């Protein structure tokens, strides 16, 4: 490369950085800035009435998994915190699994219809996004509450003698999150299935493969990127869900998002809330790294 070409390349690189400067500035101060504040707050001391005292402390991080006895100062496992962590991860994984169980056949049906029918079905899938999450969650509440549509209908048919106690339970939270996040699973699966070559299924049947073998060895491996993408899109917001557990869990079946809000509100322990926020961010980052590794492996094998 000549000196002239080298100088031109440097100018092009400098111009590229200058053009990217506004976006980099926004990402740094609007996205990374609040995260940095949370990280700093997590190593400070809580104030008496909220806020923080600018004194270094690791008590917030210790308090995420351990609780200190106020009398003798000994530490023990924070059972309440661990229960909330476990409930959050458990319900997020179950929600991801059931959205896949429902979303995969739904996406397959949509992808195998005619173009006009496919457009209409995709339109129906995206309609819930037109409505606020709070309204959708209240709609689920009105269906499954003790005097709701479901219990009223079952009592009218004589199927049950008394209302089913669904509301304010883990099952209610799971049901609400499955309904809310189902489109986030269907759309990536549809995109993956839409690119699937249906002739591969015919070839597998010609080789005397059963339906289960076709599904397990032909369809699922090829649409795996869509499965992973849909799982990430469902798992991450479900893990940090706040509105759905608050309304359908009734405050008793708390998840980590509600627990974080409690620390910044009534708990007045901002460092602990900040530490929980950073911990949630780490969990999400691990999930994203897993997704990137899976997709990059698929690309290299492809």
Q: How far apart are the first and last CA of the chain?
A: 34
| pLDDT given for residue 272 in this prediction | 92
| pLDDT given for residue 105 in this prediction | 94
The Cα-based distances of 168 to 81, 139, 171, 178, 244 in angstroms read 19, 14, 8, 16, 11
Quote the distance between the C-alpha of residue 205 and its chain's center. Answer: 37
- Residue 290's SS3 state is helix
Please report how the helices 133-144 and 149-157 are oriented relative to each other, as an axis angle in degrees rounded to 10.
20
| pLDDT given for residue 34 in this prediction | 85
> What would the two tokens of residue 100 be?
């896949």
Which helix H or strand E contains 45, and what residues bound it?
strand 45-46
> What would the two tokens of residue 139 be?
């709609």
| pLDDT given for residue 189 in this prediction | 94
Quote the distance between the C-alpha of residue 121 and its chain's center. Answer: 24
Cβ distance 175 to 137 under 8 Å? no
What are 193-205's pLDDT values in tens digits? 998 888 898 899 8
| pLDDT given for residue 4 in this prediction | 67
Dihedral (Cα; 128, 134, 273, 278), 10-degree rounding = 10
Which helix H or strand E contains 75, and what residues bound it?
strand 75-77
What are the b/e assignments for 129-164, b being 16+ CB within 10 Å?
A: eeeebeebbeebbebbbeebebbeeeeeeeeeeebe
- Strands of the chain, DSSP E: 45-46, 52-53, 66-68, 75-77
Residues of the chain with pLDDT under 70: 1-7, 295-302
Computed over every residue of the chain, the mean pLDDT equals: 87
| pLDDT given for residue 270 in this prediction | 92
Q: Measure the CA–CA gap between 252 and 165, rounded to whole angstroms.
A: 14
Q: Measure the CA–CA gap between 302 and 140, rounded to whole angstroms.
A: 42
- Residue 48's SS3 state is strand
């Amino acid at each position: 490369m000549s000196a002239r070409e080298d100088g031109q390349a440097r100018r092009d690189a400098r111009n590229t950085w200058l053009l990217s400067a506004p976006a980099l500035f926004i990402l740094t101060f609007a996205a990374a800035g609040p995260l940095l504040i949370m990280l700093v707050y997590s190593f400070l001391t809580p104030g008496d009435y909220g806020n923080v005292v600018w004194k270094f402390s690791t008590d917030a991080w210790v308090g995420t998994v351990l609780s200190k006895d106020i009398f003798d100062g000994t530490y023990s496992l924070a059972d309440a915190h661990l229960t909330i962590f476990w409930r959050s991860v458990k319900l997020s994984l179950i929600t991801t699994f059931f959205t896949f169980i429902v979303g995969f056949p739904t996406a397959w049906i949509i992808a195998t219809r005619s173009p006009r029918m496919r457009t209409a079905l995709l339109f129906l899938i995206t309609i819930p996004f037109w409505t606020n999450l709070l309204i959708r969650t209240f709609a689920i509440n009105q269906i499954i509450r003790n005097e709701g549509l479901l219990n009223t209908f079952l009592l009218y048919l004589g199927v049950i003698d008394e209302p089913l106690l669904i509301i304010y339970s883990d099952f209610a939270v799971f049901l609400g999150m499955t309904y809310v996040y189902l489109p986030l699973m269907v759309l990536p699966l549809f995109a993956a299935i839409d690119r699937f070559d249906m002739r591969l299924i015919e070839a597998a049947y010609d080789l005397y493969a059963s339906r289960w073998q076709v599904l397990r060895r032909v369809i699922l491996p090829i649409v795996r990127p869509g499965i992973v993408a849909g799982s990430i899109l469902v798992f991450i917001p479900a893990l940090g869900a706040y509105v759905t557990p608050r309304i359908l869990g009734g405050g008793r079946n708390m998840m980590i998002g509600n627990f974080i809000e409690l620390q910044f509100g009534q708990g007045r322990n901002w460092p602990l809330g900040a530490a929980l926020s950073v911990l949630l961010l780490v969990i999400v980052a691990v999930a994203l790294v897993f997704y990137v590794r899976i997709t990059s492996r698929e690309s290299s094998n492809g």
